[in-house]
C-alpha cells in the first residue's frame, strides 16, 4: 500500500535534487521557513505563479512575497535605498518583509506582485530554505501554504492536510516563530502593514522615527491585508474573562486555571511563546470539534501587537 504521507519529504541530498528539479520545472512545493510554511514557486515563471494562486484560491490582486538568498541577487530586481540598508543590516536574514520599488527590467513576473509597481521581498533565515535559495538561479515567490483566508501552517502535516495531500512538502519540523513575517512598507510613507515578531519599536529604534501600523483594508497598498484572515473557520470572541466548558478557551498567563477546554498560549506570559502556539492551537481546537473559541485578553505590546492583529482578523 502506498504510504499516504509520502508527500511529506525529508531534506536529504537525494531529495534536494528532486526539490530543485520540481522548482526548475515550474512546479510548486511546500517549504519550511522560520515564520510559517510557505508554498514556493519560481518568481520568474508565470506558470509557477499561476499554480500558486490556483491552489491557494487566492485573489489575483493579492501580491506574493519574493524570497531571496542575499542582497546582491535582490538588487537585480528591486531598487533599494539607505533606509532599507539600515534595517536590512539589523534584521535580515530573518522574519521581515520589505515593500520596495520594482525595477523596470525586473524579472519578477507582474502577476506575482498583483501588477503593482512595488514588491514584497524577504530574506528568510531557515537553513533549508537558504540552502535551496542558494542553489537556485531564481528567487521564490512564496505565500503561506494555506488556502486563502485560512490559518498559516506551522508543521508539515498542516500543509499536507490543507491541500489534501496534493502538494509535496519538505519536513523542516515545527516553525520556530509560528506567525508570519513583519511587513514593512518602504515606498512613500514608511509604515508597518503587518505586525510580526520584529516589533514596531525595534524598527523605530533603527530608523529613529515613529511608525504607524496601517493594517486595515482601507490602505489598498496591501490588498492582501483582508479583514477576515487567519481564520480557523469557527466563531471567535475576544477579551473574555471566562468561557463555558463546551467551548475552547485560549488564555495567556498563569492566572487562568488549567481545564480540559483551556489552551494556554504561555503560562509564563512570554509573548514569543504565545505567538508560536497561536496557530497550533487554532488547528487543534478545530480538530477537536469545538464550535466556538473564547480568547482572554492578550497584552497589546511588543509581539502582542502581532498576536492581537491575527486574533482580531480571525474573529471577523
Ligand atoms: O512569513 C511570511 O511572510 C510567510 C513565509 C512563507 O515567508 N509568507 C507570507 O506570505 O505570509 P502571504 O502571501 O501569506 O502574505 C504576504 C503579505 C500579504 O498580506 C500581501 O498583501 C503583502 O504581504 N504584500 C506582498 N507584496 C506586497 C506589496 N507589493 N505591497 C503591499 N503588500 C504586499
Ligand atoms: Mg498568508
Tens-place pLDDT, residues 87-127: 999 999 999 999 999 999 999 999 999 999 999 999 999 99
Q: In the structure grid, which three cell numbers stand for residue 146, read together?
A: 494555506
| pLDDT score of 216 more than 70 | no
Q: Which of 172, 207, 176 is nearest to 191 (CA)?
A: 207
Provide the pLDDT for residue 220: 47
Q: Assess contact for 19 and 132: CB atoms under 8 A.
A: yes
Q: Which three cell numbers stand for residue 207?
A: 530608523
**More confident position, 224 or 96:** 96
Note the ligand closest to the C-alpha atom of 146: 2
Q: How confident is the model at residue 227 (pLDDT cuts 50, 70, 90)?
A: low
Least confident of 45-54, 68-77, 256-265, 294-303: 256-265
The ligand 1 atom nearest the CA atom of 116:
29
Parts of the chain belonging to CATH 3.90.870.10: 8-213
Measured over the CA atoms of residue 303, residue 306, residue 307 and residue 308, the dihedral's sign is positive
Query: Could you say which ligand is closest to the alpha carbon of residue 117?
Result: 1
Higher pLDDT, 224 or 312: 312
pLDDT, averaged across the chain = 94
Residue with the smallest CA separation from ligand 1 atom 21 is 224
Instruction: Give the Å distance between the CA of 238 and the centre of ligand 1.
Output: 25
Predicted pLDDT at 221: 52
Ligand nearest the Cα of residue 49 is: 1
Overall average pLDDT of the 46-57 stretch: 98
**Residues 278-287: what's their mean pLDDT?**
96
Q: Is the pLDDT of residue 9 over 80?
A: yes
Local structure of 247: helix, strand or coil: coil
Assess contact for 181 and 122: CB atoms under 8 A: yes
The class level of CATH for 236-314 reads alpha beta
Ligand 1 centroid to residue 11 C-alpha, Å: 25
Share of the chain above pLDDT 70, in %: 95
Q: If you measure from the C-alpha of residue 239 to the centroid of ligand 2, how many angstroms do you get, rounded to a whole number? A: 24
The residue-averaged pLDDT of 214-230 equals 58
| Segment 240-255, tens digit of pLDDT | 999 999 999 999 999 9
Q: What is the DSSP letter of 151?
A: P
pLDDT on residue 219? 44
- Residue closest via CA to ligand 1's atom 15 equals 143
**Can you tell me the mean pLDDT for 18-25?**
98
> Is there a cis peptide before residue 93, judged by omega within 30 degrees of 0?
yes
Comparing 3-12, 43-52, 106-115, 291-300, which segment has the lowest mean pLDDT?
3-12
Centre of ligand 1 to C-alpha 257, Å, is: 37
Task: Output the ligand 1 site: residues, CB below 6 A.
Answer: 33, 35-36, 38, 62-65, 97, 99, 113, 116, 118-120, 122, 142-144, 180-181, 183, 193-194, 221-225
Q: Given this model, what pLDDT does residue 1 score?
A: 56
Judge whether residue 266 has pLDDT over 50.
yes
The pLDDT value recorded for residue 230 is: 80
Burial class (CB in 10 A: 0-12, 13-18, 19+), 164: exposed
**pLDDT tens digits for 123-165?**
999 999 999 999 999 999 999 999 998 999 999 999 999 998 8
Centre of ligand 2 to C-alpha 260, Å, is 30
- Using CA atoms of 22, 24, 30, 33 in order, give the dihedral in degrees to the nearest 10: 140
| Residue % of the chain over a pLDDT of 90 | 89
- Nearest ligand to the C-alpha atom of residue 214: 1
Report the alpha-carbon distance of residue 285 to residue 273 in Å, rounded: 18
User: What distance in Å separates the CA atoms of residue 294 and residue 283, rounded to the nearest whole number?
Assistant: 15
**CATH 3.40.50.11030 spans which residues of the chain?**
236-314
Domain covering 8-213, topology: DHBP synthase (3.90.870)
Amino acid at each position: 500500500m502506498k504510504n499516504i504521507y509520502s508527500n511529506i519529504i525529508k531534506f536529504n541530498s537525494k531529495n534536494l535534487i528532486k526539490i530543485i528539479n520540481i522548482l526548475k520545472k515550474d512546479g510548486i512545493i511546500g517549504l519550511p521557513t522560520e515564520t510559517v510554511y510557505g508554498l514556493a514557486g519560481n518568481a520568474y515563471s508565470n506558470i509557477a505563479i499561476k499554480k500558486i494562486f490556483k491552489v491557494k484560491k487566492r485573489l489575483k490582486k493579492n501580491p506574493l512575497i519574493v524570497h531571496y538568498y542575499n542582497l546582491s541577487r535582490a538588487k537585480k530586481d528591486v531598487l533599494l535605498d539607505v533606509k532599507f540598508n539600515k534595517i536590512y543590516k539589523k534584521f535580515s536574514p530573518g522574519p521581515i518583509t520589505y515593500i520596495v520599488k520594482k525595477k523596470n527590467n525586473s524579472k519578477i513576473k507582474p502577476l506575482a506582485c498583483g501588477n503593482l509597481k512595488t514588491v514584497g521581498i524577504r530574506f528568510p533565515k531557515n537553513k533549508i530554505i537558504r540552502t535551496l535559495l542558494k542553489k537556485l538561479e531564481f528567487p521564490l515567490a512564496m505565500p503561506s501554504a494555506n488556502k486563502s483566508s485560512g490559518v498559516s501552517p506551522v508543521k508539515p502535516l498542516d500543509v499536507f492536510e490543507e491541500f489534501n495531500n496534493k502538494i509535496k512538502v519538505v519536513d523542516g519540523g515545527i516553525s520556530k516563530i509560528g506567525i508570519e513575517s513583519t511587513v514593512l512598507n518602504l515606498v512613500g510613507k514608511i509604515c508597518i502593514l503587518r505586525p510580526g515578531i520584529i516589533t514596531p519599536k525595534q524598527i523605530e529604534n533603527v530608523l529613529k522615527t515613529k511608525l504607524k501600523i496601517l493594517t486595515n483594508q482601507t490602505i489598498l497598498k496591501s490588498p492582501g491585508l483582508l479583514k477576515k484572515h487567519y481564520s480557523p473557520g469557527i466563531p471567535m470572541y475576544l477579551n473574555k474573562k471566562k468561557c463555558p466548558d463546551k467551548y475552547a478557551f485560549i488564555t495567556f498567563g498563569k492566572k487562568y486555571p488549567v481545564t480540559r477546554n483551556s489552551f494556554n498560549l504561555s503560562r509564563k506570559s512570554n509573548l514569543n511563546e504565545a505567538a508560536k502556539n497561536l496557530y497550533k492551537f487554532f488547528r487543534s481546537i478545530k480538530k477537536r470539534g469545538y464550535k466556538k473559541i473564547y480568547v482572554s485578553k492578550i497584552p497589546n505590546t511588543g509581539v502582542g501587537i502581532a498576536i492581537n492583529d491575527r486574533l482580531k482578523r480571525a474573529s471577523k
